[in-house]
């Protein structure tokens, strides 16, 4: 027992000792999604491989020679073939089951089979599949991975939208969760004895009740929300197990990343087990314009103090490949770095449509690599800077779960008006992230459009800390009364993202005048940038340096608080510092 406790303590020490001086990602990092050769890494200036699979001696050597940190990857949904080979006679023991006891296919892998067996969704609560995943983590770390990436990190909980998993293991595990609820809540749901309650049977009976809505889904059941909380907590606990396993195997802290696309609700459930998000993120390529949606994901990652390295969705990449629009992708890259995050180099990207299934896009390096080399060449313009916020948007996670689109659209309205914002995330039963007085006090202006979905402690804190503060209840109200620290003319086709550092500020200017016919932006002449230098922490700055890809630095003057940018192509940066 003492030896067991020493081992657990050692693992916890390793987990907690990941140094703040060594972030999982720096703001100037260039991240690759999949393995490449040394020459390709060097062409882009790569520094991190995020979804590297199991390292081989050659792939590890190529990465090390190019100065690339190697995150090996383990898939909770995509590795069915490997799982089947490991357990060919008993693989069915680890499958997710729907309410009728049937296995469920992975919707985006319906064109995949192994030995004639479809790619089934597997259950991360089943001991056999958990054993497989633990073995994969151990072998990945032992093969020399610097970090571990978990694809489809929610496992079973990631399939809740499909009505899974209702296997016997999950049903039995739910009973322990039910026993944590007040007796009043149990009585409300007709549960007399949590120790014997069978949620699968209850769902079947509910579906067959005379007079019920025909074909209603299990997600409509009154207890489904508690089922989701239970599954989300189970997913987070298992990710903590895998994190501890990686650390104990390596004998050192092992940074953990996950494909946690934060525009999709529930993906913050296990954020405490993660050091970074490396995630597929909807960019809406088919709309043939630059979208502000990814900015919301970047701000949400910032709210939980984790870096975010994005890629686009499989549907986005399929559109880019079919229509040959690398100019859109260049805009995605610029937005990510301007927001203080990263966009993975589009060297080899997964594409998916229902008609074509899985296919791949290899983008033109000459279009993309110069942007990444620009970031690496000027890393000091990125590292050490944080978001300057005109307003802090206070968002209860409960409300985000109920209507994520509502919140994304609020963020987009602020972005369109060049009101720079931060998100203050208030946790709930699923996400452990309480508000603090320091969070609330850090920004003089608050937007609190939702008051009913906070946990009691957060509600009380807000009532206490917002007394006498500038607080708005709607975006419209805020926009009519708040003047951003940085404004541009024109304003409708320029996004302004200010960032502040120790004694200096960098303002990113993004050109949103994307011309779909040309797959490029329309250059803008004489962009006027008006600044509140006091707010940005550089009150004595009399000038700034203009920096843009493929152009030499240029000195510009500040005249009456205004900087005139002669020409704005895709992206430009203005750096202000005291004389």
Which CATH number describes the domain made up of 389-479? 3.40.50
Indicate the pairing of strand 494-500 with strand 505-511: antiparallel
Q: For the packed helices 326-338 and 314-323, what is the interaxial angle rounded to 10 degrees?
A: 140
pLDDT at 461: 98
- Give the list of residues 6+ apart from residue 46 with CB closer than 8 angstroms, or none: 30, 31, 32, 36, 40, 66, 68, 345, 372
Question: How far is it, in rounded angstroms, from Cα 87 to Cα 211?
Answer: 44
pLDDT at 215: 74
Topology of the domain comprising 486-576: Immunoglobulin-like (2.60.40)
Edge-to-edge strand list for the sheet holding 486-489: 486-489, 524-531, 562-568
- pTM for the whole thing? 0.95
pLDDT at 20: 39
Residues carrying CATH 2.60.40.1180, the chain = 486-576
pLDDT at 487: 98
pLDDT at 214: 67
In 400-413, which positions are buried (b, 16+ CB within 10 angstroms) versus exposed (e)?
Answer: bbeebeebbebbbb
pLDDT at 211: 65
pLDDT at 209: 84
* Coil, strand or helix at 31: strand
Cα 178–chain centre separation: 30
Question: How far is it, in rounded angstroms, from Cα 49 to Cα 62?
Answer: 11
Residues carrying CATH 3.40.50, the chain = 389-479
What is the C-alpha radius of gyration for the chain, rounded to an integer number of angstroms?
25
Spell out where 119-162 has E strands: 147-151
Taking the chain (579 residues) in runs of 10, the rounded mean pLDDT of each run is 36 43 90 97 99 97 98 98 98 98 96 96 99 99 98 98 97 98 95 97 89 80 98 99 99 98 96 98 98 99 99 98 98 99 97 95 97 99 98 99 98 99 98 98 96 97 95 98 98 98 98 99 99 98 97 97 98 95
């Amino acid at each position: 027992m003492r030896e067991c406790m020493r081992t657990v303590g050692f693992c916890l020490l390793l987990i907690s000792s990941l140094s703040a001086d060594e972030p999982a990602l720096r703001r100037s990092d260039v991240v690759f999604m999949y393995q490449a050769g040394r020459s390709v890494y060097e062409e882009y200036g790569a520094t991190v491989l995020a979804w590297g699979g199991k390292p081989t001696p050659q792939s590890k050597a190529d990465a090390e020679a190019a100065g690339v940190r190697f995150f090996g990857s383990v898939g909770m949904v995509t590795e069915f073939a490997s799982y089947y080979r490991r357990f060919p006679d008993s693989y069915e023991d680890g499958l997710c089951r729907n309410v009728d006891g049937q296995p469920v296919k992975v919707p985006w892998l319906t064109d995949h089979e192994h030995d004639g067996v479809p790619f089934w969704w597997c259950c991360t609560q089943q001991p056999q599949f958990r054993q497989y995943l633990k073995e994969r983590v151990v072998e990945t770390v032992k093969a020399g991975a610097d970090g571990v990436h978990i694809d489809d990190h929610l496992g079973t909980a990631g399939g809740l939208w499909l009505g899974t998993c209702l296997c016997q293991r999950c049903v039995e595990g739910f009973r322990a969760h039910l026993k944590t609820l007040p007796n009043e809540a149990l009585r409300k749901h007709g549960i007399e004895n949590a120790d014997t309650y069978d949620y699968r049977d209850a769902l079947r009976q509910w579906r067959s009740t005379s007079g019920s809505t025909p074909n209603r889904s299990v997600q409509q059941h009154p207890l489904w929300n508690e089922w989701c909380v239970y599954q989300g907590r189970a997913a987070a606990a298992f990710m903590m197990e895998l994190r501890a396993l990686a650390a104990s195997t390596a004998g050192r802290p092992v940074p953990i990343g996950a494909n946690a696309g934060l525009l999709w609700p529930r993906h913050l459930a296990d954020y405490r087990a993660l050091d970074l998000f490396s995630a597929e993120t909807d960019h809406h390529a088919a709309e043939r314009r630059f979208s502000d949606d990814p900015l919301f994901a970047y701000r949400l990652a910032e709210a939980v103090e984790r870096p975010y390295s994005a890629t686009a969705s499989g549907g986005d990449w399929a559109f880019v490949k079919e229509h040959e629009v690398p100019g859109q992708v260049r805009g995605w890259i610029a937005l990510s770095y301007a927001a203080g995050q990263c966009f993975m180099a589009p060297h080899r990207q997964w594409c998916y449509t229902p008609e074509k299934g899985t296919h791949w896009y290899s983008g033109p390096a000459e279009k993309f690599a110069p942007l990444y080399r620009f970031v690496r060449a000027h890393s000091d313009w990125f590292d050490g800077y944080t978001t300057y916020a005109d307003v802090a948007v206070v968002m209860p996670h409960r409300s985000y779960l109920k209507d994520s689109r509502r919140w994304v659209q609020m963020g987009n309205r602020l972005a369109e008006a060049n009101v720079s914002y931060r998100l203050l995330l208030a946790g709930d039963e699923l996400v452990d992230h309480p508000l603090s007085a320091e969070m609330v006090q850090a920004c003089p202006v608050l937007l609190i459009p939702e008051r009913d979905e906070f946990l009691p402690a957060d509600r009380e804190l807000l009532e206490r800390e917002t007394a006498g503060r500038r607080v708005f209840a709607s975006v419209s109200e805020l926009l009519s009364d708040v003047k951003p620290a940085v404004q541009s003319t024109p304003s409708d086709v320029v996004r302004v993202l200010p960032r502040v550092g120790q004694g200096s500020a960098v303002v990113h200017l993004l050109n949103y005048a994307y011309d779909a016919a040309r797959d490029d932006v329309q250059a803008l002449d004489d962009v006027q940038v008006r600044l509140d230098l006091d707010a940005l922490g550089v009150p004595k700055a009399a000038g700034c340096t203009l920096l843009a890809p493929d152009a030499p630095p240029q000195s510009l003057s500040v005249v009456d608080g205004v900087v005139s940018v002669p020409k704005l192509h895709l992206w430009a940066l203005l750096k202000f510092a005291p004389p």
